[in-house]
Structure 1
Amino acid sequence: MANRSKRNTKVKQNEIFDEIKLDRIPKFTDLTAEVDYVIRKSSWWDRYGVDWALVVLFSGLWVTSVLFFKDRSWVGFSVGIFLMGWAHYALASKAGHIGTHGGMCETKAMRRPLSVLFVEMVGSFSEELAYDIHIKVHHPYTNIIGRGDSSTWKMPFLTRYIYLFVAPLMLPPLSPLVSIAGLLEKRTVTGLLKFLIRAGIGLWFQAYIITLVAGLSFTKALLVIWAARGLFSIPYIHVNIFQHIGLPMYAIESKPVRLYQMATGVLNLPSNLILDYAFGHSIISCHVEHHLFPKLSDNMCLKIKPIVSKFLKKHGLPYNEKTYTNRLWHFIEKYDTLMVNAPPITHFVGLQ
């Protein structure tokens, strides 16, 4: 049965390859040369400054959100939770994601400390696991069945509406628990202790600021943090499944060349003010560009977007773009096909 399955997989891949003559696929080095030219001509502000300015802006917005909790009305709390959730994901997801790739600065020695700051201390998720899952697995093996196929997000025991709109609310308290479980599985005691200290300090500091400024109890401060993070956990889960699941999948033995793999296996969502700055251009409107050039900052991904789009379309390669609502309805209608009758869930959870 296993041999038959492998043969069927190879047949399917050959059928996909037949749609485009592989000997006519342009060289990735040609696209790289065009992108490198733009990078060389770009200032430090374009390469890093814009994204650092946003880090400062959203750090200020997080502090501002706390002021709304001094207003004991539902309106004040609602505005505060929205602003805090938006600011949190701008730092933990947007900056954390690019920081993990080393796209926040030129100095390689600073990549890990910045990643620890945004992913662990702000985001309460293990930086070590994020690096293993995202950098070592997801990017090299994008849409490879059983490895980088986003099976992380599949929970076939949940119904579609529970999975899409209720379960994500549990992501904030589950993230540190998943980190602990993953580090225990790796048997890295040092890594576990570092995570507990860093994430603990980060969470305590955020709760302390809320208690100090808004006058809430420590328990209520933690509940506010959960509500703020949970609100944006719903679109966070959505965009992570929208951009890969349902697109062509490949077997490790017959994966295509990198340019074809990323062109067919990655999808962009339209630019959106809230989502772009909560998760970053590299996750929303420039996800194709990010998978082709993962070390670039969000702003640089946006800058090379016209070049990548033109190059792929010129050579007859896909440049996948769908709206958020289009993908949402697609997943609701095709939930069983995409999320239940799919590769089994793995122990991996992390950034996409």
Structure 2
Amino acid sequence: MEPQQEMLLENQESFQDRQKGKQPREAGAARIEQLQKGSPLNHGVGQLESPGEGRNAQDKGEKLGQEDTPSQETADLTQQLQAGISRVDPPEQEGTPKEQDRGLTLNHPVPDGDGSTSRGDDVPRVFPRAAKKEMEPFEEGRSEESLMGELSELVQQVVKRSSWWERHGIDDCILALNFIILPAGFLCLRSDNALPFLLGIFILGMVHHAVTVKGSHLASHMALTESKSWGKVWAVFFIEICTAFTAEQAYYNHVKMHHGYTNVLRLGDSSTWKIPFLNRYVYMFIAPIAVPILTPLAALGLLKDVQLKTALRTLCFMFLGLYSHYWLLVNVSGFQSVWSALICMLITRSLLAHPYIHVNIFQHIGLPMFSADKKPKRIHLMSLGVLNLPRNVLLDWSFGHSIISCHVEHHLFPTLSDNMCLKIKPIVSQYLKKKKLPYNEDSYMSRLQLFLHNYEELMVNAPPITELVGIQ
């Protein structure tokens, strides 16, 4: 044996003597090989989950009820050591979303054919480094993954203690009351006096927006009933007959894209509300009048993307809803001409179109935007990219709490009804503030002034991508 090799062997055996007590010097290289094979550095390397599997496990805490499973708070020592080994940042592989990263990269010494390792004397030095330097970031990463599951568990406890009346009954009764007062609105339009006539316009406008906004929104999230079959029936009724839109496209655009990728550019970034060629005053105060006309036209344009039987069903129900409104104006309210009835339809259907447009842009646009490969975890995404407006009796009745004052809660738990979003609001707000996460709130007038002053930046130019260091 050469002098250098003999010296190296003596050093390694001396280190083992200091760490584990005196070992028989005859063990020699065989003992080092046994240490390497039994070490956490090499044990279980093949059991590490792939990025996709890690993401699926992480997503289990993102939906209430079916998939809300809080993440495990602690891990055993072996897993901590595996995640705490020396940190190296290799080039990111193409096609791997950044959010799927575990945040720590293992850099194991790879065993060679003779049992030695490619990094030689790095093996005995890695344990102190891992225990002291890398343990805290690892636990912090696990804590971030468990936030959504922990909040979901708190909310689930409230839901389980709530009665059917709180979960669905209150909102169902609000919608039912709107249909009950609907005949009074048509009858008021028969009057020749201005006051009853204007009252009829107001009633029809309020009912229309309560049914088409609140009803359609809850129906698209299957929040009106616990029965899936009835949920689909109500979705077709509220979205296609009342709103003159296609239920399948409403579900895809709103639930799948907007909620799945809130404020992620080119996916769920609310860009459908932007009309760059309009100036600020036309967009904010004149264009909303055209919403009742643009809605069915947009629905017709989307029918090419659905099946033929779905397209035919949508066309029939859209015609049924629009013609029923016209027929009631002519036969109950007594309108004598086609144009007068159509103008009345336009006025009532656009009565709250201005706040409808404003609310949809106020609560997302102007907040942090992300690229698809750099979006943060769900709880961070929703707390950063969603804003609550103050409670308003008129808008709460017509649009619902989940669209106005509980929009953050709605994006975190979209299957809950308006009343349940209002009930969990204190829990969600306190939890986010306790964890030092954003809980965005602003007034209607403040957001209106912001958009008027920064219209070019917010509604015309492409928004800048927000980089959040430390959250991804």
State TM-score, norm by structure 1: 0.88
- 2:322 is matched with which residue? 203
* Alpha-carbon distance, 1:54 to partner: 0.3
1:37 aligns with 2:154: no
Amino acid at match of 1:177: L
TM-superposition CA deviations, 1:75-128 (whole Å, max 9, x none): 333222222111111111101101110100001111211011111111111112
In 2: Cα distance, 1:41 partner to 1:287 partner:
22
Gaps of 5+ in 1: 1-9, 11-20, 344-352
The answer to whether structure 1 residue 46 and structure 2 residue 166 are counterparts is yes
Partner residue, 2:403: 283
Equivalence map 1:202-221=2 (5 Å): 202-217=321-336, 219=338, 220-221=340-341
Higher gyration radius (CA): 2
Equivalent position to 2:257, from 137, 144, 147: 137
In the aligned structure 2, how far is the partner of 1:135 from the partner of 1:42?
Answer: 25
- Which amino acid in structure 2 is aligned with residue 257 of structure 1? K
- Distance, in Å, in 2 between the alignment partners of 1:180 and 1:100 is 19
Matches within 5 A, 1:210-289: 210-217=329-336, 219=338, 220-289=340-409
Give 2:190's aligned residue. Answer: 70
* CA–CA separation in structure 2 for the residues paired with 1:109 and 1:217: 41
Shift of 1:212: 2.2
* Deviation per residue, 1:31-89 (Å, 9 max, x gap): 00010000000001000100111011111232221122111334333222222111111
**Are 2:430 and 1:310 equivalent residues in the alignment?**
yes
Larger RCO, structure (CA 8 Å, separation 6 or more): 1
- Give the residue type in structure 2 aligned to 1:196: L
Q: 1:213 to 1:31 in 2, by over 3 A?
A: same
User: Are residue 154 (structure 1) and residue 274 (structure 2) matched?
Assistant: yes
Q: 1:62·1:88 contact (CA, 8 Å) conserved in 2?
A: no
Of the structure 1 ranges 205-214 and 325-334, higher mean CA displacement relative to structure 2 is found in 205-214
1:164 to 267, 281, 284: 284
Shift of 1:203: 1.5
Counterparts of 1:110-121 in structure 2, within 5 Å, are 110-121=230-241
2:364 aligned counterpart, secondary structure = coil
Residue equivalent to 2:295: 175
Aligned residue pairs, count: 324
2: CA distance, partners of 1:99 / 1:341: 34
Contact 1:207 1:218 in 2 (8 A): no
In structure 2, C-alpha distance between the alignment counterparts of 1:47 and 1:218, rounded to whole Å: 45
Q: Is the 8 A contact 1:120 1:199 kept in 2?
A: yes
Q: 2:223 aligns with which of 66, 81, 103?
A: 103
1:263-292 deviation digits (Å, cap 9, x = unpaired): 000000001000111111010000000000
- RMSD over aligned CA atoms reads 1.7
1:65 corresponds to which letter in structure 2?
A: G
Partner residue of 1:81 out of 198, 201, 209 = 201
